[in-house]
Chains A and B, each alone.
Chain A
């Protein structure tokens, strides 16, 4: 009696599950098509010839026989307005430096906050939580004033010096972000204390515990912080716009540089180059995305629960 009941229930729920899967497949299929449209349009337009851009702006892909690499050649060969390689280089190294420093500081600080004792620890953590509510916009203007004042004070003459100074202000200010550090701390709190205590009673130093136990365990949280801070640094626009005002465009980051195309009126004449440059600028991120997206998405998904 009881087993028959279960069997019937299962088959019924199996049937509904199959039906639901079909419905969700159909909806998601169309949503995905819609989601890909802008990207297909971008890639397609970047290969369109000037003639095709003028006569057929309404197609996603170039007409047959009209595929061309002209727009790619134009910004790769000449030193045109779009200094894509310089921008990409600037963005890549500064974002990586930012990410590296952030992860290092977060690991170190969270380790101290969870596994070491010092006076005023609770107060410190409480203060950080409180400070998280203070919007950063309050500090923007004074920070910009600080940037300018210290620059005048140091009276930097050489181009290399200015570049280094500017990128110090691009890379460093955000690395003490509270959210990421507390994310790491929350993860460390979930590590059983026994592991650390037994390692300590075996005579392991703090450094050893940190390197051999904590860091390997924190891999997924590290990946998550890398993801957050990298996309944040790559996309940041406000602060670079302030800092780079009046500087040579060779020094810009890629996000800042590409706004050149949105500043002016979009027209058939510039669309091709704008799209080709965008495709090129997206390549590094897309490559990283293709290789890590599964892990990345899973890591982010679990962050909704953990913090």
Chain B
């Protein structure tokens, strides 16, 4: 018995090896190295001068007189202001559309497919389309349409020019509504119909049923969507990268921490700054983690592990209560089933 257990043990461990190996090599080790590099003057091409410098990189990063560090914090501020508007929008619009889809009007499958479609398009195609729609000369679609020559994509966001962010905002709505829309419409569909019927029996209005039945029941899905969207938009990169004008200066281009990190990594003349970039990445990463944790606390899902179980239990309990209410009010419709 004991021997067979040990054998089982070793089989399990052997089967885990591929996953763990890839995970260690490409996730854990780079992060540990990043942590170590952030305390070093590190140059991967000329390793002779590499040495530990303590907290020097962090000191430089928090020194706002340093032009490079200033770029980092400015880019952070720009991205953050944008996210404050963008993330709630990417919850509210998909939720509204999901609610409408869930009323199952004629042709809803077609509508659903079209709204989801942009989500599978690559970011550079999105950039080509919107870059041409909002082209800065008189050949851009909207400029030609209105007979104007607005430089939509030039300039620095929030610094005398807010139009570029508006374009990025519109393009992001078009491009990324789909995923949250589909997840939320699934959540809406899974609310037991009996709950609505019970609410109606009690004389609740449509508005009351939205507030007391719909929203509480999709809270966890809203939480997941908010979390994913928040993390994705803290790491904003693709949209500002493709939606820009070639006239923009470097200062106008670096509008998010990811763009900052990517810019200094890609350009080999900054290779001696690798340690500093690692420090910036760690500070940025910690801020992202804090935001993620706060979001989860606020949405009340401290324990991701048990979330699904509690959610399931709550749903079934609610459904049973719904049936009980229906039985009390002498109804012939035996609810409980949420399948259409």
Which residues in A have some Cβ–Cβ distance to B below 8 Å? 2-3, 6, 9, 13, 16-17, 20-22, 24-25, 27-29, 31-32, 35-36, 38-39, 41-42, 45, 53-54, 56-58, 105, 108-109, 111-112, 116-119, 124-125, 129, 131, 133-146, 148-149, 172-176, 178, 181, 186, 206, 231, 234-235, 237-238, 241-242, 245-246, 254-259, 261-268, 271, 274-275, 278, 281-282, 285-286, 289, 293-294, 297-298, 300-307
Contacts and interface: CB of A to CB of B under 8 A. Distances in A.
Contacts of A29: 111
Contacts of A136: 27
A137 B183 contact: no
B174 A35 contact: yes
Interface string B271-289: 0001001100110110011
Contact of B285 (A105, A138, A237): A138
Nearest to A134: B31
Contacts of B284: 135, 137
Nearest to A264: B246
B325 interface: no
Contacts of B137: 267
A284 to B, nearest CB: 10
Interface stretch (B58-66, B75-83, B259-267): B259-267
B169 interface: no
A293 B285 contact: no
Contacts of A237: 123-124, 237-238, 241
B262 A262 contact: no
B179 A118 contact: no
A141 B277 contact: yes
Interface of B: 5, 8-9, 11-13, 15-16, 18-19, 22-23, 26-31, 33-35, 37, 42, 44-45, 97, 100-101, 103-125, 127-133, 135-141, 143-145, 174, 179, 182-187, 189-190, 200, 206, 221, 224-225, 231, 235, 237-238, 241-247, 258, 261-262, 265-266, 268, 274, 277-278, 281-282, 284-285, 288-289, 292-293, 304-305, 308, 311, 330-333
Nearest to B138: A57
B11 A116 contact: yes
29 contacts: A28-B101, A31-B97, A38-B130, A39-B118, A57-B138, A57-B139, A58-B144, A108-B18, A112-B16, A116-B12, A118-B16, A131-B28, A138-B285, A141-B281, A142-B33, A145-B33, A145-B37, A173-B22, A178-B23, A234-B122, A237-B123, A237-B237, A255-B122, A258-B127, A266-B139, A289-B113, A289-B117, A297-B112, A302-B190
